[in-house]
Amino acid sequence: VSDEDKRLLRDKLKASSFKPQNVDEETYFEVDFERVTGLVGRRQVYVHQGKAYVPLADQVVLVLDEFKERLSHALEVTGRALPRMDEDDRLMPVLNNINKQYLGREFTTSAIAGEIQAQDVDDLKIHMPLCMEHVHNELRREKHTRHGGRMQYGLFLKGIGLSLEQALLFWQMAFEKLTPDQFNKQYAYNVRHTYGMEGKRTDYTPFSCKPIIMGSAPGTGDHHGCPFRHFSPTNLRAQLAGHQVDDFDSEDIMRLVQGKHYQVACTRYYEVTRARMIGVSTETLRGGVLSGQGSESAVASEELIEHPNQFFEQSYLLLKNKNNNNSSNNSTATDNMDESALDPTIKGRYTYKKAGGASSRPIHDMEM
């Protein structure tokens, strides 16, 4: 967009942004609005005569769309070529494992909430993504969950800080229909196995979004999988309504699901529900609310959700930082008030612990 056009559209460009911007210094791209429907739906760009004016900071949307289009074409070409490739022993192992690759951060047991206890899990449900909350709710309702749910949820709990000892206690209490002896015979070995204490003693890490989305679909009685990928539209809408997602945001999420943008839909769900949790607008949340507070600052929600434990960690930090801000404000207002007299919920229940620890690798198929 030329300087002259920016001058003519200055007021409208400034009004369309939720962040203060110097329009004269910002770089804008004029594109067909159909290419940035997500930004248009969230009212983040100015639209005029079918054209959307996208600031440089949001050009990643254009890059991602172009990448997805080219990737889709490349996958189609690869699919047509596969029958000729199966004779090459070098290529097939690579192609067969493409969907299992994850280059993001691995989440180990040194989690952000510190080492949690089995009885804490119910309280931490408010920070769980929909995929893990669903398994948790069904586990509490049925007092049992099948292999897929145990694997998906068990490794997630390991990633948020549930130790082996507490994991054994959690699952034994969850499977309350079983006697301790029955639990030890049927399930204890597999819980220890996921913590690297049995078999090959591999320290397994939680599933990222990719294997959950692309893995085996849940059958009748199963509770694993991604709700945005595997739930029926009716069921997903009911889940969103149950989490107080309004009709406008719900339809926005459903459009993303229909376009098979499952992780973007989850990110949008995060924005809507976390903004309500801390009492701000989604635009404020996207702008990095409560940021700039050192190593414990919450990540701005513009970051795509790629891992269930990432969702949990961002949500946990978001509320923790809000409570810390409230605590600071209360301390200033009360000056000499004894700390024990303050609302204990302001201080936060759990301690922060930086992620780290021994090297580990993900698992995609094992028994539990």
330 domain residue, yes or no? no
Domain end (from 58, 73, 104): 58
- Please indicate, yes or no, whether residues 180 and 254 belong to a single structural domain of this protein: yes
Residue 29 exposed, middle or buried by CB count within 10 Å (0-12, 13-18, 19+): middle
40 domain residue, yes or no? yes
What pLDDT is recorded for position 348? 36
Q: How many domains does the chain contain in total?
A: 3
Per-residue pLDDT of 1-53, as tens digits, reads 787 777 788 788 777 765 556 667 778 888 888 877 777 777 778 888 888 88
110 domain residue, yes or no? no
- Please indicate, yes or no, whether residues 91 and 156 belong to a single structural domain of this protein: no
186 domain residue, yes or no? yes
DSSP 55-113: EGGGTHHHHHHHHHHHHHHHHHHHHHHHHHHTT-TTHHHHHHTGGG---S----SS-TT
pLDDT of 361 higher than 60: no
326 domain residue, yes or no? no
Per-residue pLDDT of 59-109, as tens digits, reads 777 788 788 888 888 888 877 776 666 666 776 676 666 655 655 566 555
- Please indicate, yes or no, whether residues 25 and 83 belong to a single structural domain of this protein: no
* Calpha distance 312→155 (Å, rounded): 13
327 domain residue, yes or no? no
* CB neighbour list of residue 9: distance below 8 Å, 6 or more residues apart: 1, 23, 46, 48, 53
- Please indicate, yes or no, whether residues 91 and 133 belong to a single structural domain of this protein: no
- Please indicate, yes or no, whether residues 154 and 262 belong to a single structural domain of this protein: yes
Per-residue pLDDT of 205-222, as tens digits, reads 999 999 999 999 999 999
**Continuous segment of H or E residues that includes residue 319:** helix 308-334
Per-residue pLDDT of 255-284, as tens digits, reads 999 999 999 999 999 999 999 999 988 877
108 domain residue, yes or no? no
Question: Quick check: 41 and 251 in contact, CB under 8 A?
Answer: no
111 domain residue, yes or no? no
Question: Quick check: 234 and 158 in contact, CB under 8 A?
Answer: no
- Please indicate, yes or no, whether residues 71 and 210 belong to a single structural domain of this protein: no
- Please indicate, yes or no, whether residues 211 and 73 belong to a single structural domain of this protein: no
- Please indicate, yes or no, whether residues 50 and 169 belong to a single structural domain of this protein: no
Q: Is the whole-model pTM more than 0.95?
A: no
- Please indicate, yes or no, whether residues 170 and 246 belong to a single structural domain of this protein: yes
Query: Are β-strands 51-55 and 46-48 bridged in parallel, bridged antiparallel, or unpaired?
Result: antiparallel
- Please indicate, yes or no, whether residues 15 and 35 belong to a single structural domain of this protein: yes
Domain range enclosing 87: 63-96
- Please indicate, yes or no, whether residues 147 and 220 belong to a single structural domain of this protein: yes
Average pLDDT over residues 167-181: 96
Give the percent of the chain with pLDDT over 90.
45
- Please indicate, yes or no, whether residues 81 and 147 belong to a single structural domain of this protein: no
> Backbone phi, then psi, for 193, in 5-degree steps?
-65, -40
